Amino acid sequence: MEILIAQWSEITGEKLSKITFPIAFTGNKARRLLINADAASKPPWGGWDHFSHTETEQRTFTRFRSSVNKAISPHEVDHIDFITDEFAKPSAFSQRKKPRG
C-alpha cells in the first residue's frame, strides 16, 4: 500500500490523483483494492460504479488497473472498488484508521 500512496499521482495521472486515493487491499488474498473517490467527479470510464457504453472510455479503466498492477508487481489486484461516501484528501488519510480487510 505504501507504494500506491507514495506514487499515486504517477500511477493514475494528475487528474485522477486529485479525485481518488487508495485506502486498502481487501479480500482473502488482498486482490481487491478499495479507493476513496470524489462522488462529485466522474472518472473517464463512466462512473465510480459503472462503465460507459463506449469501448474507448471503458479501456481507460483497463489502463488504470494495469498501471496499479504494474506499480505493485508482483502483487496484482483483480477488482477495484470505489468508495464515494466521504472524500478526503490524502493528508487526511494519514490521521485516520485504516479499514480492516
Flag whether 30 is in a domain.
yes
Res 95 pLDDT > 60: no
Flag whether 18 is in a domain.
yes
Flag whether 101 is in a domain.
no
| CATH code, domain carrying 65 | 3.30.70
Flag whether 31 is in a domain.
yes
Flag whether 100 is in a domain.
no
Question: Of 92 and 68, which is predicted with more confidence?
Answer: 68
Model pLDDT for residues 23-46, shown as the tens digit of each residue: 999 988 999 999 999 999 999 999
pTM over 0.85: no
Flag whether 99 is in a domain.
no
What are 84-93's contacts with CB under 8 Å, separation 24+?
84/36, 84/37, 84/38, 84/39, 84/48, 85/39, 86/36, 87/19, 87/36, 87/37, 87/38, 87/39, 87/40, 88/21, 88/36, 89/21, 90/5, 90/8, 90/21, 93/5, 93/21, 93/23, 93/36
Identify the domain containing residue 83 by its residue range.
Answer: 2-93
- Split into its structural domains, the chain has a count of 1
